[in-house]
Structure 1
């Protein structure tokens, strides 16, 4: 059972359309506008579905900003659709996406007690501010200097600004930082015993556990340094050159994985892979042939429920598709209908998966 199966084609179109409605509602960049034009050109169904979703959720005002792509919205005849079970499921998913953009659960802001200073914290630094999101939530935080932080599910990050640096300490979870340029005060993200440093750029950091994390650069360049080296980086010593050689520098479209404090080779990843990997920003998970266990590991980050594959016959199943983050029932239904994989919830909150008899 090693096949990769792309299922629910119609649902995929509705998922894509719902994403474009949400993006139109918050405003498109020039790059996204071109991407939407391309998507609409692929099939007449795409335009029909986009207009239908706009009528369904009363978002025709969003489409008006791209009036050159359509006939005037007011002249568009209302689209009526009879929803069966699958149709209403799609509609519910669309509603969740639109609400997710308009009503994002804000990050909890906590004035944290003064901690033991990190080697990077200057004595003139301000008091720490702690931001965190719950399981299944994600949020956007605009910092005073214009830097924007996007926090994924179950994330906790403290922020300290001083005269000489902007320090973010990622304690758990995942963080995308769009850094406002300030050459005099570099922005640093401390993660474990490493520091990701940038001046004006954008990058994503995913802390899997205390010793393992990934860095993906979407704009500009960053340097990944050892925390011990940063503490005395201003001290000239015979070993300074050796330490510099240990630094990892990443550019746009590059990924670095650190495992057990050992950096592996930097790899170049394409725009599509980056888009899929960061689809959590729109409340989604995208799978393109991952194993069932890998998919479940990702989904488990967005729900308090746990998964257990109890049947070795399904261990090689690979899946593809777009799912709402935290939509456990949607994934379980897809596994049942496409792979005959049954699920059973135990009393201790574990979902066991096996081949249906």
Structure 2
């Protein structure tokens, strides 16, 4: 998460809890110097309450005991990546960083010079991250990625969800996104990759990318730079204003996108969802991605109804009200997690 290795200084006036929280911030940088590791072990050894405080702040993770035993082992060289959003302890840090995302703990044993991290958003959240190379990643709702940066390459694994990649040019380090069974290599560009249940979609908003097929679950360390001078079977070059939909074992489908349609597809970046004469089924499917409740269309005859509109992300009440008024539909809350839409019964 933190792109720098800046060390947060400890102050003797801080309480044990304050010191523990600051150590977690230092660990969040992903790597500690040899001296910092010695300082950390010394801090743990000074007072048994230090370890207790550290555990208390990280007890959200089931394997913290094993984790702590690893970092206090003299022979340990693991790098640590923590996402300190444990409220209320880290609430001030979250506000200062303007970051809201799912807490994740990863222990990463990596070769020298390789930086690994993971990032995630929960339903309804977005996250912008700028890396040391200047590249920017915008994560959409319910998205998880892993990153592996080295002196030779920059690899992003999109595990689920949708992300926009604004790639900083670096001819010596290819930028490759791995999603499902596809690799997408940037050729100085800005593009979106979206993993859906049935396919993988790549939309280029600037520049050019190359999509290639790869074995599912390929380790990031085994991913090599794509040869952009030779086109293999299933390879697709995608340029600005184009979109490719790739299904397993099927030829990818390339389409051109009008400027206004592209703006609608990227409206989530501005906290909006825009629909233009789209089926109610598709509208509900899209809006459900951003809600912690599920809207269900009970009657199949409602699926083909057409709808247009502009809505704030997460504003389910406004959407449901618009549907009720437009199509003579009524809503019924089934439980805390589900709303049912049905035809209004005439009286």
TM bin, normalised by shorter chain, reads 0.5 to 0.7
RMSD: 2.8
Q: Could you tell me which residue of structure 1 aligns to residue 30 of structure 2?
A: none
Q: 2: CA distance between counterparts of 1:133 and 1:228? A: 26
Cα deviations across residues 254-292 of structure 1 (Å, max 9, x unaligned)?
000012343432111111111000100011111111111
Matches within 5 A, 1:103-114: 105-108=99-102, 110=104, 112-114=106-108
Is there any run of 5+ residues in structure 1 with no aligned partner, and where?
1-101, 118-122
**1:159 and 2:153 are equivalent in the alignment:** no
> Partner residue of 1:221?
208
| Other-structure match for 1:308 | 296
Conservation of the 8 A alpha-carbon contact between 1:187 and 1:197: yes
Structure-2 separation of matches of 1:127 and 1:109: 19
Q: Is there any run of 5+ residues in structure 2 with no aligned partner, and where? A: 1-95
Matched residue, 2:312 = 324
How many residue pairs align between the two structures? 245
Q: Deviations over 1:57-114 (max 9, x none)?
A: xxxxxxxxxxxxxxxxxxxxxxxxxxxxxxxxxxxxxxxxxxxxx9964345745233
Distance 1:288 1:232, change over 3 A: closer
* Aligned mate of 2:331, from 327, 343, 346: 343
User: Deviation digits for residues 182-217 of structure 1, max 9, x if unmatched?
Assistant: 0110100000111100142100011113x6210000
The CA distance in 1 between the partners of 2:270 and 2:98, in whole Å, is: 10
Are the aligned partners of 1:344 and 1:351 in contact in 2 as well (CA < 8 Å)?
yes
Q: 2:188 matched to 1:200?
A: yes
Contact 1:111 1:128 (8 Å CA) reproduced: no
Q: What whole-Å deviation, never above 9, does each CA across 1:224-248 have from its counterpart, x for those lacking one? A: 0122499586899xxx97x724311
Q: Partners of 1:141 and 1:202 in 2: how far apart?
A: 14
1:232 to 1:140, Cα distance in 2 relative to 1, 3 A: closer
Which is further off, 138-147 or 243-252? 243-252
Q: Which has the higher contact order (CA 8 A, sep 6+)?
A: 1
Where does 1:1-357 land on structure 2 (aligned, <5 Å)?
A: 105-108=99-102, 110=104, 112-114=106-108, 126-209=114-197, 212-228=199-215, 244-347=232-335, 349-357=337-345
TM-score using structure 2 length: 0.65
Tell me, yes or no, if the aligned pair for 2:280 and 2:303 is still in contact at 8 Å: yes
Task: Note if contact 2:211-2:236 (Cα within 8 Å) is conserved in structure 1.
Answer: yes
TM-score, with structure 1 as normaliser: 0.63
> How far apart are 1:313 and its partner, in Å?
3.4
Q: Could you tell me how far apart the structure 2 residues matched to 1:108 and 1:353 are?
A: 30
Structure 1 residues 232 and 135, CA, compared in 2 at 3 Å: closer, same or farther? closer
> What SS is found at the alignment partner of 2:269?
helix
